[in-house]
Amino acid sequence: MAGHSKWKNIQHRKGKQDALRGKLFTKISREIFSAARSGGGNPDTNFRLRMAIDKAREANMPSDNIQRTIDKALGNIPGVTYEEMVYEGYGPGGVAVMLELLTDNRNRTAAEIRHIFSKRGGNLGETGCVGWMFERKGVLTVNKEDSSLSEDDLMMLALDAGAQDFSAEDDQYEITTAPEDFAAVQEALVGQGVKFEDATVTFVPQNTVELRGEDARKMLELYEALEEHDDVQAVYSNFEISDEELEKIG
């Protein structure tokens, strides 16, 4: 799991965020739309929708926007229909890259994503080319400074709730679960007053590839370009970049 934590730290150090609120709202709205359309509009029975709504509230999205998106998904308001897709490919240095996308135009999205890869030393691959390198996991992180519990107490709570693993990484604790146990573990810990810095079901690489020099620089550029694309909901990769190399890149 260290690869997951390391990449989260890289993101923070690079200061990479969905910089504009409008762009962030667009991504979250599409996720709410897709979740409601596939699993219904009740967040109490649709865990994916509940996660999307929680993300929207964390981003201070107005409640009216959330409800309007759900209504569109249920057909109560005419609107655009989005299609879910997963793309796989390779970045500089042969690292694996997976994308989760929501699009209203498959052909346009494919052309644009292919261009982003090729312009930055990567290439879009066939379905299944890198998927086997990742595992689907629930990952919950707790900032050590924000935790009122000791490391041992938090670990015992997490494991008793059904977590698969617990680790201490730099300034945070990381709890991992099977995807189907994620909601139960999260709810159990929230019930004990635990506050999460991040909580999501994600793809975690089984092994990582360390990048240096030009490959490292190009891979960061590729990652950021993919994240900035409106249709991309999430980017996963298996690369590592050392602190020293990050400082060289600037």
Give the domain ranges of the chain.
2-73, 85-132+208-243, 133-205
pLDDT, tens digit, 9 for 90 and up, residues 181-193: 998 998 899 888 8
SS3 state of residue 248: helix
Cβ–Cβ under 8 Å, residues 66 and 33: no
State the fold for domain 2-73. Answer: Arc Repressor Mutant, subunit A (1.10.10)
Q: Whole-angstrom Cα distance, residue 72 to residue 60?
A: 20
Nearest-angstrom CA–CA distance, 167 and 150: 13
**Which tokens belong to 218?**
């190009």
181-233 tens-digit pLDDT: 998 998 899 888 888 888 888 899 999 999 999 999 999 999 999 988 988 98
* Domain 85-132+208-243 and domain 133-205 have a common topology: yes
Tokens 């050590």 correspond to what residue? 144
Q: State mean pLDDT over 99-114.
A: 93
Looking at the DSSP bridge assignments, the partners of residue 103 are 83
For residue 206, which phi and psi values (nearest 5 degrees)?
-75, -30
The mean per-residue pLDDT over the stretch 11-28 comes to 60
Q: What are the tokens at 242?
A: 């050392």
- Confidence (pLDDT) at 22: 64
* Packed helices 106-119 and 213-228: angle between N→C axes, nearest 10 degrees: 160
CATH H superfamily, domain 133-205: YebC, transcriptional regulation domain (3.30.70.980)
CATH 3.30.70.980 describes domain 85-132+208-243? yes
